[in-house]
Amino acid sequence: MTAKGSTGMEVLLSTLENTKDLQTILNILSILVELVSGGGGRRASFLVSKGGSQILLQLLVNASKESPPHEELMVQIHSILAKIGPKDKKFGVKARINGTLNITLNLVKQNLQNHRLVLPCLQLLRVYSANSVNSVSLGKNGVVELMFKIIGPFSKKNSSLMKVALDTLAALLKSKTNARRAVDRGYVQVLLTIYVDWHRHDNRHRNMLIRKGILQSLKSVTNIKLGRKAFTDANGMKILYNTSQLPVIPVTGPVAQLYSLPAEVDDVVDESDDNDDIDLEAENETENEDDLDQNFKNDDIETDINKLKPQQEPGRTIEELKMYEHLFPELIDDFQDYDLISKEPKPFVFEGKVHGPIIVPTAGEEASGNSGNLRKGLAMKENGSPKGDKKATLVDPAKEDIKDNDRTLQQQLGDQNRTTSSVHGLNNDIVKALDRITLQNIPSQTTPGFATGMKKDHGLPLTVLTCTKACPHLATCGNVLFEGRTVQLGKLCCTGVETEDDEDSESNSSVEQASVEVPDGPTLHDPDLYIEVVKNTKSVPEYSEVAYPDYFGHIPPPFKEPILERPYGVQRTKIAQDIERLIHQSDIIDRVVYDLDNPNYIIPEEGDILKFNSKFESGNLRKVIQIRKNEYDLILNSDINSNHYHQWFYFEVSGMRPGVAYRFNIINCEKSNSQFNYGMQPLMYSVQEALNARPWWIRMGTDICYYKNHFSRSSAAAGGQKGKSYYTITFTVNFPHKDDVCYFAYHYPYTYSTLQMHLQKLESAHNPQQIYFRKDVLCETLSGNSCPLVTITAMPESNYYEHICQFRNRPYVFLSARVHPGETNASWVMKGTLEYLMSNSPTAQSLRESYIFKIVPMLNPDGVINGNHRCSLSGEDLNRQWQSPNPDLHPTIYHAKGLLQYLAAVKRLPLVYCDYHGHSRKKNVFMYGCSIKETVWHTNDNATSCDVVEDTGYRTLPKILSHIAPAFCMSSCSFVVEKSKESTARVVVWREIGVQRSYTMESTLCGCDQGKYKGLQIGTRELEEMGAKFCVGLLRLKRLTSPLEYNMPSSLLDFENDLIESSCKVTSPTTYVLDEDEPRFLEEVDYSAESNDELDIELVENAGDYEPSAQEEVLSDSELSRTYLP
């Protein structure tokens, strides 16, 4: 009997378990069927939690003992078991132990004509079959043969029974044992015949689910090799291909509505979990596999409160950490030997002086009145031509269109000026040779006219391009050796510089020099310096070539690039073309045209074949196969010392013809989905365009999609999992120029040599009296490359004690980037951060006076150099090594963590740690942080969540960025700590080092779907702007968290308390609704509703457009803070 206070469900189950009265049992079962049918999954789960599964299974056993069994009773029991079974993770085991598998199977065998009884029995068999051990057991008892009896010859009668039988069969055939049984009995041909019959007779498309069920069964049986062979032998490829062609679409009806839906990502996109295709051998399975049936919680979320609580762990002794003292000279230097700005003693009193409003140029904003000084015109210099050619001039690129986008370079070095790289024109006869050429320095005195007016170190070294073949227009030629090593550029295009005015262009024009006119000042790109840096860069393949984009440099284009809208059906078309390869194999060329694995491979010389190359820094392309005349399959390299991580690509293409649509298929990608399905395009850099004064990467390609292909990954390459498939990125390109040299990349390349060049230029250009800048070597990588460590802050006002103390007591901010080589956008964000920190703007100076920045701009130099996507040379993901880094295998992580441990040991814990990353599946820029309370909430343990008290200061910086950075999206941020991320930098620095504001900042590879940049693909301008805005956010954070130091008014202090300390109702993991009724520092988490904070939305939309006027520049910082923050 039930105890006092039992629920109604418990009373019903208890009565059902103990009564022997048939009518009572039927009445209770009828009630239970209604309950679980109307309450969704919650009621079924509740019934399972009260032991309903076991009671009903035992009732089924008892009812089967009657002869004949009561039909109504069997119908009711099977109906309710079919509904609650999926909610019970142990249901398969319980059914097998109780012996109900054969009971249900025998009922179907004995009552094939009784469709009312067979239907719920089949539904329950489907649930049984979810457990692979049960599936094998049923197969041995003839269930596969039974299913084919039911789905038998084509008949439109009892279509509902047919649907359930096919679902059951598809589940049964997931077992390899059952699939082999089906193949041995010739059922693959039967399935194809049935499918053709249904396809032929279902003209009005009313039985789509039946046809889908047959296809699911075919998919299950073809998971084994025998099944695939039987399928192809039965001409299955051609049958399915012919039946998959789009039918004549009716004008009205449900099918017409289906095809009139708005264009979205095709329904062909495989969005299923990667594990769906894993086929486990039933004979090796254990009872524990029933735990994998279905899980309704995110098991990856950390649930142990003790593990979640930050616990500072020294890790290494203070004696061991003393090895890092030399990397912190700012803590001991007395600056007696420095030429500081002021030598006069001043009282150590902060005057509350505001250095002006915070102004960071926003990408795409209209230039101010002096924008004429920023014009990036380009004029060709005249060289004496052997034939006295006319002077060729290039008009200002996009001069009329650039006005609203001319802020491109303002983020770099503040108001200083910069010069972009020289560009070169070549004679047609020279470049048609298409031979490798080298760079050779020419003394400046040989070109007095070109160097006139240039400041020291502000212009770019002049170079001449030479080739290896004799040429009537040049006196000398040949390769130039740099200290025994040849550094070569890739091929130049076969057409000379195409001028904007055809009248100024002649076929035999001489070698001409081109320079981009920009304001006087240092530039961060120097082609000759880049070549010098490349000579000292160590790579595994020992690259000797330099890619032109890395040599010329990249300038953001003066136009916006919208997210690509893809027409519906393009993915279906691409897959159909892939299938045609197998059906019409005689049409396939199948010729290897590029192969890194065969060093002796001879490149075909035919004129209509594209030529490929990836033998340069960060390049990645392993093999190219020509499939059709203008279609190529591309295979990427895995990360070095790894057999997977294929995603990053960077390669060169030449020998193209204009007006031809070339299709490229990268066929060994691994991620299950990509932003290529949602509007992202690959990057292309044209050398011809660069010579025409357009040296920039642009988004290129049409008919782009990303889908699972038929190439299977080995279990070793899939981490031991079987059944994994590769994915294809496909895109079509029409090249604008004949015989151009073009480069394609996954994202904007940023090489290790580029970083070293930028750091050298920053170091040489800074004002040592104003900016404290140090570039140290953190350590050497496995390949012997140095990992740079940068320190940036403001020089002390004088070398007197008070100013030195203020200097040493500045809080630290620790930044890192590029731990994953394929996330090149992280380096562009870091570039924006570094250039803003080194700029001359008053706010940058204020920021330097507020913090000491320790920056590791590239944590994985070896991976970047060698074109890896995720790993270092050890073949490991370095962002999973932070818990226990090995000094020999993971030196950069070991020593970066050592720096943080040293700061913790000397009681100088960083205020903020941020690791810059890129994200391949999301749009916008966002952050991941760490919160105990929000993590506990996601475990659905509300009682535990209510007991957690936590300072919500970790949300302040992301909230600030959401108001000042147009690309930043607060709603994409997350502060949950997952088990799989416990060894990442963010979590380890938070938990072990004790930094509350420990973040990963993720930047999209695609674009934005909110804010000012909504609908646009992201570019380097926006990424660098994000890096600068991050700096502004840090200054705002300083002024919010250190009010006494800045002597801010009480009104701003009240605002700070509202933002950081007051109780907040967090209505989603990323939004605030302030509630003044709650006590301070307590947060009631309520994620049940969305935020209606209209002020937040308005500020986010308008913040990016805000630019202070001249009158506003005198506003106090507190007033500006109120402008940006709620």
Q: Would you please indicate which residues are annotated as catalytic (active-site) residues?
A: 1002
| Token duo for residue 1109 | 């006027």
**Planar angle of CA 87, 90, 91, nearest 5 degrees:** 65
| Token duo for residue 371 | 């924008």
**263, 634, 637, 676 from 673: Cα distances, Å:** 18, 18, 19, 8
Specify which residues 284 forms β-bridges with. Answer: none
Determine how β-strand 437-441 pairs with β-strand 488-489.
antiparallel
Specify which residues 620 forms β-bridges with. Answer: 650
Residue 875 burial (CB < 10 Å; 0-12/13-18/19+)? middle
Determine how β-strand 997-1004 pairs with β-strand 912-919.
parallel
HSE-up of 90 (CA within 13 Å, CB side)?
11
Residue 340 CA to residue 330 CA, distance in Å, equals 15
Contact in structure between 650 and 701 (CB atoms under 8 Å): no
Residue 397 CA to residue 1009 CA, distance in Å, equals 29
Residue 788 CA to residue 327 CA, distance in Å, equals 11
The residues, ordered by sequence, that sit 6+ positions from 369 with a Cβ below 8 Å of its Cβ are none
Residue 201 CA to residue 964 CA, distance in Å, equals 61
Contact in structure between 216 and 166 (CB atoms under 8 Å): yes
Specify which residues 772 forms β-bridges with. Answer: 793
String of DSSP letters for 958-1015: HHHHHHH-TTB-GGG-B---BGGGTTSHHHHIIIII--SEEEEEEEESSBBSSGGGBT
Q: Which amino acid is at 343?
A: K
Packing angle of the helix pair 225-233, 236-243 (nearest 10 deg): 70
**302, 639, 911, 1065 from 935: Cα distances, Å:** 7, 33, 22, 16
**What letter would DSSP give residue 374?**
G
Q: Is the peptide bond before 68 cis (omega within 30 degrees of 0)?
A: yes
Specify which residues 914 forms β-bridges with. Answer: 815, 999
Contact in structure between 669 and 997 (CB atoms under 8 Å): no
Contact in structure between 668 and 643 (CB atoms under 8 Å): no
Contact in structure between 358 and 843 (CB atoms under 8 Å): yes
Region for residue 940 given its phi and psi (left: phi exceeds 0; alpha: psi -120 to 50; beta: otherwise)? left
3-state secondary structure of 273: coil
Residue 191 CA to residue 183 CA, distance in Å, equals 11
**H or E element in which residue 239 lies:** helix 236-243
Contact in structure between 417 and 516 (CB atoms under 8 Å): no
String of DSSP letters for 931-967: -HHHHHHTTT-HHHHHH----GGGGHHHHHHHHH-TT
Residue 198 CA to residue 190 CA, distance in Å, equals 12
The strands making up 683-686's β-sheet, listed across from edge to edge, are: 611-613, 650-654, 741-745, 683-686, 698-699
**217, 828, 883 from 818: Cα distances, Å:** 45, 10, 18
